Amino acid sequence: MAPICIKTVLISESVDPRCRAILEEHGICVTEKHNLKKEELIAEIKDYDGLVVRSATKVTADVINAADNLKLIGRAGTGVDNVDVDAATKKGIIVMNTPGGNTISAAELTCALLMSLSRNVPQAAMSMKQGNWDRKKFMGAELYGKVLGIVGLGRIGKEVATRMQAFGMRTVGYDPITPPEVSASWGVEQMSLEQLWPQCDYITVHTPLMPATVGLLNDETFAKCKKGVKVVNCARGGIIDEEALLRALESGQCGGAGLDVFIEEPPKNRPLVDHPNVISCPHLGASTKEAQARCGEDIALQIVDMVNGKNLVGAVNAQILAGTFSQESQQLIKLGEAVGAVLQSCATSRKPLSHAHIITQGDYMKTCGGYMTSAVLVGLLNHGSGCRANLINVLSLAKDNGIVVNESHWVTEVAAAGMCKVEVKGDGCSFKATGSVQGGVPVLLGLNDCVFRQPVSLTGNLMFLQASASPQLLSSVAGVLASEGVQIDSFSAPVDHNGDVWYCLGVSSLLPDLGVLKSFVKDAAQLTI
């Protein structure tokens, strides 16, 4: 991936000082303005390339749409539900988090709540402060031999499992992504949720908040659990249905809950917080000195690595960029964008485009189909249109523009460098182009079934002419161009001269009006790459 230029960053919340120090050490100008109101953030954000937040700053669509220069939103923490990721993606802005920064702290708090639920530690401590000595009231239960269900077996789920196994708990879990053999290697038996609910003495959730996980624990699922099951949520408010949880607590179906997160924070559901069998915390999962230092340092290092074109870690909406950091991938991206730009220029009069089919050929391009497709679309949508497409938002923009996109890979015995073939359709017409990378340079091999004798270097000012083969064509065109002050730097003719064929000229500058060539050519296009 070509390095993304980040020169200015706004930090809108308190993060570890190492974050600012690392960014400034690498030449990035940092401004810290905390506790900005929405209107203040909207007014401020237009001046920055990057924004670093924790969980309090709400980066809404209004904020994102006001950010004309913003290229990156960095979340110093795990969850990104305070960021409108869809709006950021549509604008081509990378949303990045620090996936491992608070893993240990969140896992340790989860374990603390599990232990507190088993032995009523907070309630007993409060009773002591009130001058009481009531041993019978706070009778607890051992964790040893109990079954812990872990819903979500990512980094935090794994750390919780290994710690609670030390207490002799049997750990079972569910995760739609982590392979069962992987979780089995650290002692968690995977099963379906329907199998998990009735087995567990304790359940802890460690999933993101998304449509599939909203209200994951509800009246129906509580009814399937053991009577007296205890639950913990240190992930995101809303994964456990709070009203259903309160009903389960009052009926005794749920024996206790440890909650660090709520649907609304601070929570207004006081009956839940005030319930005697609920242990609640004010969202302390990442509130350790170590986690804050780690998250602040991690987000800064991730930004620096991305800017320097080294690596991309934690991008939640730009996974396509992960494979674009090698020199070879950058060359292929330039090829895709250039081929797309050529076709856009040739198809200008046939807009709007309705279809784009991108075909990669050869082993060299087997793994690059995703970003090659996006690169071609960037060239198609950006060139001469004023559109601000990039690899992050271009698929969404293509859909918005009514372009149906198809991609495929052909396994052939093509040269090692491989080839990219693109066909676009619009207004009943079709345009095709074939390109490759030769000697590190993107080249055009053919246009609309015309194969060039010499590959066309896709750089500089290019002019494409469709005309009947004629010995006088070049001299006639050269005369017109000279009268317009344009010099021909290179000329590429097709192999086949039958019928109307395409020629390519490298020129010193573009013509103000291609109409001056209409007496010599059937069609013409020009562009600067």
Catalytic residues, by residue number, are: 236, 265, 283
The span from the CA of 28 to the CA of 12, in Å, is 16
Q: For residues 380 and 343, is the Cβ–Cβ distance under 8 A?
A: yes
Q: In what order do the strands lie in the sheet with 147-151?
A: 188-190, 170-174, 147-151, 202-205, 229-233, 254-259, 278-280
Task: State the distance between the two ends of the chain, measured CA to CA, in whole angstroms.
Answer: 18
The span from the CA of 172 to the CA of 200, in Å, is 8
Q: Which two tokens stand for residue 343?
A: 């076709």
Burial of 226 (0-12, 13-18, 19+ CB in 10 A): middle
Any residues with CB less than 8 A from the CB of 388 and at least 6 apart, and which?
91, 92, 382
- Return the C-alpha torsion angle 435, 438, 440, 446, nearest 10: -20
3-state secondary structure of 385: coil
Exposure string over 272-289, b if 16+ CB within 10 A, otherwise e:
bbebebbbbbebebbebe
DSSP state of 131: T
From the list 246, 238, 241, the residue with the least C-alpha distance to 262 is: 238
Indicate the helix (H) or strand (E) that contains 11: strand 8-11
The span from the CA of 518 to the CA of 467, in Å, is 10
Q: For residues 428 and 374, is the Cβ–Cβ distance under 8 A?
A: no
From the list 436, 450, 438, the residue with the least C-alpha distance to 335 is: 436
Give a three-class secondary structure readout of 488-526.
EEEEECECCCCCEEEEEEEECCCCCCHHHHCCCCCEEEE
Beta bridge partners of 164: none
- Return the C-alpha torsion angle 297, 96, 73, 387, nearest 10: 140
Q: For residues 207 and 183, is the Cβ–Cβ distance under 8 A?
A: no
The span from the CA of 108 to the CA of 102, in Å, is 10
Exposure string over 482-506, b if 16+ CB within 10 A, otherwise e:
eeeebeeeebbbbeeeeeebbbbbb
